[in-house]
Amino acid sequence: MENKVNTKDKLVYSKQEYKNGFFGPYGGMYVPEVLQSKLEHLAGVFEEKKKDARFVEEVQYYFKHYIGRPSPLYYAERLSKEVNSRIYLKREDLNHTGAHKINNTVGQILLAKHMGAREIIAETGAGQHGVATATAAALMGMRCKVFMGKKDAERQEINVYRMKILGAEVVTTERGTATLKDAINVALEYYVQNPDAFYLLGSAVGPHPYPSIVRYFQEVIGQEARQQILETENRLPDNLFACVGGGSNAIGLYAAFLDDPQVNIYSAEGGGEGELLYKTASTLVMGSPLVFQGTYSYCLVNDQQESIDTYSMAAGLDYPGVGPEHAYLKDTGRGHYFCVTDQQALEAFRLLSKLEGIIPAIESSHAIALAMKMMRDRPDQLSIINLSGRGDKDMGRKLV
């Protein structure tokens, strides 16, 4: 789990960093010309709507009455005793549909509605974003098509079934490793061919304005957590922990604390079998900057600087890229990123289930594993782990 901080041409973190779709040097809009005007229009509508009090009230209405926000900040007493440190869990697993993804899909579906969209398309790995998109589309009476790698569809069969019940069409692909990267490629191709569709991107990745849009709708996690920890402990936490694939649940938690340098930010990437190319999905630990799927960020690459296949047992982390804001946080040193292996995540999955009666998603278990390792025998430390999803979707995989 050693962190490899890149000090070459190191940037300086600043709250003035986000301009024109860039987070420092990362981000941008690298797409075919047919999509540029579409994305520029989306960016304009987004900037307009987030300043519209009626739109903000509409989003907050659905957050409260449909999703069930605010989600609790729970003091994990038995886990804290086991680790000998003070640990809170931000319970995004208790949201409607069982994960943080619904925050973003409800927000984006409202944007789509105001733009007159009738068809929603999305990609998914772990299936949680697919379920959340299908849910939001059903709520608004829109057609929904979800793209998924065949391998992910097989290991997340329960979520595929849920999407179909909700009325979505699930399109699987056998390309490449048949995982999230390939699902995004197929979804982008469909979007190019059907530019009238609304692409509801699931994580803080891809071309501008998606990293900013997803961040905006996920910031509620950190805003709530900040208020809750101040009310409960009368101080800010020392540490934040979250898992990072694309990085939406993590940036959602971190956003409210980025300007508090005393709050440490620690992220767990899907380490797979360890720090070995083709056996890991630990992008920020082992990757290099590259233009990939519409944005400039870190990516796992080979000697020819081409994106490579990845591996993690967590479908939601099994992705060679990462959101551009995370790349910026890494290079400035504001955020620290670690490789957490499948085995470490499984041990955390089993332990939290037995100690707290909470079955976490295998993705979230990576963050739990990292917190357990780093906070061991540190009773003076106060930490928040973002429990981004529940483990119902993983029950068919025989993890115990």
Measured distance CA(274)–CA(277) in Å, rounded: 9
Instruction: Tell whether the model's pLDDT for residue 27 goes beyond 60.
Output: yes
* Domains within the chain, CATH numbers bracketed: 31-63+101-210 (3.40.50.1100), 68-99+219-397 (3.40.50.1100)
Mean pLDDT of 369-373: 98
CB atoms within 10 A of CB 80: 19
**pLDDT tens column, 296-326:** 999 999 999 999 999 999 999 999 999 999 9
Q: Is 101 a catalytic residue?
A: yes
On the question of pLDDT at 8 being above 70, the answer is no
Catalytic residue among 85, 330, 388, 393: 388
Catalytic, out of 49, 101, 151, 393:
101
**DSSP characters over 167-214:** TPEEEEE-STTSSHHHHHHHHHHHHHH-TTSEE---SS-SSTTHHHHH
Lowest-pLDDT choice from 181-185, 218-222, 396-400? 396-400
Q: How confident is the model at residue 395 (pLDDT cuts 50, 70, 90)?
A: confident
Given pLDDT bands bounded at 50, 70 and 90, which one contains residue 10?
A: low
For 72-129, write each residue's pLDDT tens digit.
Answer: 999 999 999 999 999 999 999 999 999 999 999 999 999 999 999 999 999 999 899 9
Question: Residue 161 is which amino acid?
Answer: Y
Helix (H, G, I), strand (E, B) or coil at 65: helix
Residue 393 is predicted with a pLDDT of 87
Give the pLDDT score at 1. 41
Which of 123, 269, 356, 363 is catalytic? The answer is: 123
Is pLDDT of 162 > 50? yes
**Residue 195 has what pLDDT?**
83
Residues 6 or more apart in contact with residue 269 via CB below 8 angstroms: 243, 244, 245, 281, 282, 283, 284, 285, 317, 337, 338, 339, 340, 366
388 as an active site residue: the answer is: yes
Give 8-61 as a DSSP string: TT-----TT-EETTEETTEE-----HHHHHHHHHHHHHHHHHTT-HHHHHHHHH
Question: In the prediction, which pLDDT does 5 show?
Answer: 33
Phi-psi region of 351 (alpha: psi -120 to 50; beta: other; left: phi over 0): alpha
pTM of the model: 0.94
Give the per-residue pLDDT at 399. Answer: 75
77 belongs to the catalytic site: no
pLDDT of residue 328: 97
pLDDT of residue 13: 64
Share of the chain above pLDDT 90, in %: 88
pLDDT digits (tens, 9 = 90+) for 223-267: 999 999 999 999 999 999 999 999 999 999 999 999 999 999 999
Mean pLDDT within 262-275: 97
Residue 47: Cβ-neighbour burial (10 angstroms; 0-12, 13-18, 19+): exposed
Question: Does 396 have pLDDT greater than 90?
Answer: no
Q: What is the mean pLDDT of residues 23-28?
A: 96
pLDDT tens digits, one per residue of 45-73? 999 999 999 999 999 999 999 999 999 99
